[in-house]
Structure 1
Amino acid sequence: MYFYAARQPILDKNKNLFAYELLFRDSIDNVFPEIDGDEATSKMVEASQFSLGIHEFTGNKPAFINFTLDTLSKGYPTMLTKEEVVVEILETIKPGKKLLALCQDLHKQGYTLALDDYIHQNVWAHFYPFIKIIKIDIQDTSLEQIQEIKQAIAKYPHIQLLAEKVETYEEYNQALELGFEYFQGYFFSKPEMVKTKNLSPSQIAMAELLYETSKPELDLASITSVFERDVTLSYKLLRYANSPIFRRRSEIATIKQALVILGSAELKRFIGLMFAANVNPDKPSELINLSMARAKFCEQIADIMNPRLDSSIAFLTGLLSLIDAILDEDIETVLEKLPLSQEIKDTLLTQKGVMAALIKLLELIERAEWDKTSLVMDKLQLDKEQTVEFYNQALAWADEQAQQVS
């Protein structure tokens, strides 16, 4: 069974990853609202419990999953542990005695409950003792309504507010001032402001390495020289080359030895990840994780589209597709500073061509816009089932790699 879901990050007020919401679809072609909420939730729990495992999809972070009244009544939340799921009560459920009893029981068992797309009604006050999180769509809720909700829950300090559909840093800052604890949306992937930023010596070295590894033929002497000029990079390279994921029998002790043993493809991945992960330490780690997942996904797709796409170029293009957000600068300014191959620059600047279409496909998958992904996949002549599998694998790979290069 394939797992058709997108994960949307939920960050805390320090922009650290708190959890993911899993957005389910029955298949690439069968999108909401063609299946009802009961079926969607049932399939999500089934896939999480018996096929993939939630922890593999969320990197051991809690998963917000929507539940209908029927799936709550059938006890589906208890098929998942209280540590791995936040039970999200759909906004379409009307507050009543049956729902209240179900919430009381889940709360007693230690489950975290959240109200989705909350619209205030006084009757919800009966539920407040058992609710931990209230999600508010800030695009559809006025400041007066938010203040009304805050006043209603004032006697329940355990309730935390989560702002949904936060699209800009201005909205994030406003929600922060209003007392929201958690934030969901795409504000973290857009530049906070356009400003001039000089790269540090270490970042310049990584940019130089990016250029060297984007060449068709690697110049081992030049690459070794760059590493030898930067102690921190050398340390991380040796640490990475000796990490358990490669299962080496003997320890790697020199820069040249590490470069030779890693090989071209693995070296390109390492340098790309190092650049993305260290170029702006103030950005949310989830943004870096997303860049890594994009890179792996593009590499996998390029492998099956060969010779239309070069996998190394595809990896770097996917990785750098969010570089403007990571550096908080417009993409034109960023690319002027980076000595990248013209092929990568053209893709990111013009947004035309096969590689650009692949980046667009990724954006649609991340937002769970499955109906539009079908059109792009048809255009690229990609197998839909295999594409979804590659996406899931890329997310798991990015989570693992993030631990290795940190």
Structure 2
Amino acid sequence: MSALSDPHQTSVLFARQPIFDGSREIVAFELLFRPTDGGPMPLPFDGNRATSTVLLNAFTQGDLNTVGQGKHLYVNFTADTLAGDIPFDNTHLVVEILEDTPCTEAVCRRLIELRKAGYTLALDDFTEHDATHPFLPLVDIVKLEYPHYSNNELYWVIGLLRRHHPHLKLLAEKLETEAELEQCLDAGCDYFQGYFLARPQIVHGKPVTTARLTILKLITELNQPEVSTRDVATTIERDPALGVRLLRLVNTTLYQRAGQITSLHQAVTLIGTQRIRSLATLLALSELDDKPHSLRQLALARASLCRELTLDDPLLSERAFIVGLFSYLEAFFDRPLKDLVAILPLHASINAALLQHEGPLGALLDTAIKLEHGDWNEIPWGRLRELGIQPTDVSAANQRALHIVGELTTSDGF
């Protein structure tokens, strides 16, 4: 990761403060909200927005393994953000529960769910003088706010926590001097954080807009491997504009049946789950209005060619369409393709085709790319022959794909 970029060319994404163990080795980082313009904190402070912004901006830098250099990352969560979906897996994320989070039945139930799902939980800014806090049995780490305690109080509360909740790891935060660090070591803390050890470092980069994240989430839901007909329709219905555009599209001459299709459930049933998923994904990408129309056309052309090459195999043809379309994701989202593929629940054959051009789908993608570049002699003819595809088939498929692009780009839907 290009951690500290030129702030004059990029925005502030977040601050990253190291967390150390007793040997002064970095074992984790905490990601802290910072305004993108580098200015003062906004007032009033919105904790929900801060959490969402930090996660969103971490997302722009790649996966959490990249952001944290292979170490754990602590991120603050409010009660509201705890209740929502967490867009990262449990491998590196430490869910840090803010001190003002209410201890409701819903929150406790959610913490239990997250622990069962494998997430590490930390309780932030602990200032209690006993071991009765209701979250203590549910978390893995407690962050002791060192300045709040006198010397005797620190030893007392750590003793209580060790006695009543021996599973806990204790992190002393806001340490300012060597003497404070030595005292916390002597008192039995496991981890340490503070300006004395390391100040937060500002990480710059190019943020992803909320609209981009929403679209990527929609694409992710549409392309779940075992998604049902009802799930596809319900997902599309949550974006009314997308639903309207999709209905317009399926009522063009390319898809029109004897009568007009008037509902999303009818469209999915008549046209098929796979085809609707492909069309909805295409339309979702077209909602990125800061991207040129020509990019959408290129992506559509490549996807259509990949599909037209395999019309005799419906399942393979729709996977081929997604491979062709997703091979342009990097250009749509301004992020490496491998990072995007890592967070999408795609079939293994699609991943292999996108990243290594392997398998039948990889051969189709390679063919489409070579044809776009005019490299007829570089097309993998041997691999195509194994799929029963001849040069005349490629030419015919290309003509059909161009016709499809022309039809779709002049329709109201696209």
Calculate the TM-score normalised by the size of structure 1: 0.46
Instruction: Determine which structure has greater relative contact order: mean sequence separation of CA pairs < 8 Å that are 6+ residues apart, divided by chain length.
Output: 1
> Greater Rg, structure 1 or structure 2?
2
The alignment's TM-score, normalised by the length of structure 2, stands at 0.45
Query: Structure 1 or 2: larger helix share?
Result: 1
